[in-house]
Chains A and B, each alone.
Chain A
Amino acid sequence: MKNLILVFAISAFSFSILSFTGSENIPIAPKSGGENTFVIPTDVQNIIDNSCYGCHNSESSSTKGKMKLNFDKLADLKVSKQVGKLMKISKVVKKGNMPPEKFLKKYPENALSQEETDKLTSWADGLTKELSGE
């Protein structure tokens, strides 16, 4: 619990600093300050921004994409849902089902490298463990 508060405080603090700087590099996901806010490390955040966030955000034109996973709302979800989403992220990325082929045809430079895949999935797996206490 203490950890969560600390994490929340740190993320709120860093977010407010970033907002002040008015920089373009404001962490995009998850920006809503839900109860279970967690810090996404910058390197993972960059991967998400490059290869996932385009469809998985509140303004996305992909109804299905944002319904199944919306990084803007990830922090607001119940912990059970967060774990569900993280499990899915890890699974589909490991399987190579995401990002989808259609997206990669248009934006081949946004494909995940092996290193990025590993970083993203170990983040998701680690956070799954942390949130579920397993």
Chain B
Amino acid sequence: MKKVIYIIVAILIIIQFIPANLPEISSDNPNDLLTNNPDISEDIAQILRASCYDCHSNETYYPWYSYFAPISFLVSRDTKVGREELNFSDWESYKKTEKAGALDGISDLIAEGEMPMKIYTIIHRDDALSESEIEIMVNWADEFAESLFE
């Protein structure tokens, strides 16, 4: 039994030396969604920042435990994939069609409860969306998309 614990501890120590390559944080994002769209209400901006921006922007907040393997591996992967799929820091560089695609995805994935991801809200409990927040976000995404085509 003791042996097993030693082995686990040894593995945990060794994997700390494997670089997790957490995606870089940048607070200077001239193409950011929120800085360029002051019409977005404070309520929505707050939800976006709290529940989406950690993975879908360059302004990721890494809590202390996200620097420790194997959590760092998960955080690194999810942030990387999240930014590739949709990066609000690059919003203004997207074409109209890409914006429409992203907003339709936001609307569907939030409505279906697929976003924010379970693994995120288990830890960030306060950032899970309530029924009314889901409705607010879905309506916002749909209306914002419509406004691009007016």
Chain A residues whose C-beta falls within 8 Å of the C-beta of B97 in the assembled complex: 83, 87, 128-129, 132, 134
Contacts of B98 in A (CB 8 A): 87
Q: A25: CB under 8 A from chain B?
A: no
Contact B112 A84 (CB under 8 A): no
B145 in contact with A84 (CB, 8 Å): yes
- Binding site secondary structure of chain B: helix
Residue total for A at the interface (Cβ-Cβ under 8 A) = 17
Q: Does A119 contact B (CB under 8 A)?
A: no
Q: Hey, which chain A residues are within 8 Å of B148, CB to CB?
A: 80
Chain B: interface residue count, which band?
10 to 19
CB distance from A90 to the nearest CB of B (A): 9
CB neighbours (8 Å) of B145 from chain A are 78, 80-81, 84
Q: Is the interface of A mostly helix, strand, loop or mixed?
A: helix
Whether B100 pairs with A80 at a CB distance below 8 angstroms is yes
Cα distance A129–B95 in the bound complex, in angstroms: 11
**B146 touching A78 by the CB < 8 A rule?**
yes
A85 to chain B, nearest CB (A): 6
Contact A88 B101 (CB under 8 A): yes
Whether A67 contacts B149 by the Cβ 8 Å rule is no
How far is A87 from B146 in the complex, measured between Cα atoms in Å? Answer: 15
Measured between beta carbons, the chain A residues less than 8 angstroms from B108 are: 67-68
B-to-A contact residues, CB < 8 Å:
95-98, 100-101, 103-105, 107-108, 111-112, 142, 145-146, 148-149
